[in-house]
Amino acid sequence: MKSLVKQEEIAGRIFFLRGEKVILDRDLAILYGVETRALKQAVKRNIKRFPSDFMFTLSADEFKNWRSQIVISNSDKMGLRHAPMAFTEQGVAMLSGLLNSETAIKVNIEIMRAFVQLRKLIDSNKELAKKIEQLEAKYDKQFRIVFEAIRELIKEEDKPKRKIGF
């Protein structure tokens, strides 16, 4: 099955907010090929399916910060009257049940794969950090021994040398 969107395109739309990996409503709408207002409308009609750990609306400060960090045209700014909705991985899965088109299903599969890849990457980084800490602890001990040996050699050089010969 050929994917409609690339993993890199999806991964570029996932970011961390409130300690969660999320995708904003406008990015999901682009990926699914629907209008943002249609996506929001579907969510509002089924709001009971989206508890706060599945979807939340950006606060005024988060919205202001988000708008200042992205480069959007004035026409886009004019259309952003309401703070975006942020969907967690579970929220995206729930959303797939609402958008029941062939495109939405295929795109949703790719989004889920992107979330899994991101989780694996984060886990591997934690594992790598742990290994580095272990190596640092191991090599600190070894380097301490080397430095102690160097200090001993320096001490021996400071002692007066015995003259050899006549």
Q: Could you read off the pLDDT of 142-155 as tens digits, one per residue?
A: 666 766 776 677 66
| 85 in Cβ contact with 57 (< 8 Å) | yes
Every domain of the chain and the residues it spans: 7-125
As assigned by CATH, the class of the 7-125 domain is alpha beta
Structure tokens that stand for 60 in this block: 């005024």
Most confident listed range (1-5, 14-18, 71-75, 103-107): 14-18
- Residue 159: pLDDT above 90? no
**Using one digit for the tens of pLDDT, what is the confidence trace for 127-136?**
766 776 676 6
Question: Does the pLDDT at position 162 exceed 50?
Answer: yes
82 DSSP 8-state letter: S
Four-residue CA torsion sign, 155, 160, 162, 166? positive
Beta strands 85-87 and 15-17 are unpaired
State residue 44's pLDDT score.
92
Please tell me the predicted confidence (pLDDT) of residue 54: 92
- Return the minimum-mean-pLDDT range out of 10-24, 44-58, 61-75, 89-103: 61-75
In angstroms, how far is the first alpha carbon of the chain from the final one? 93
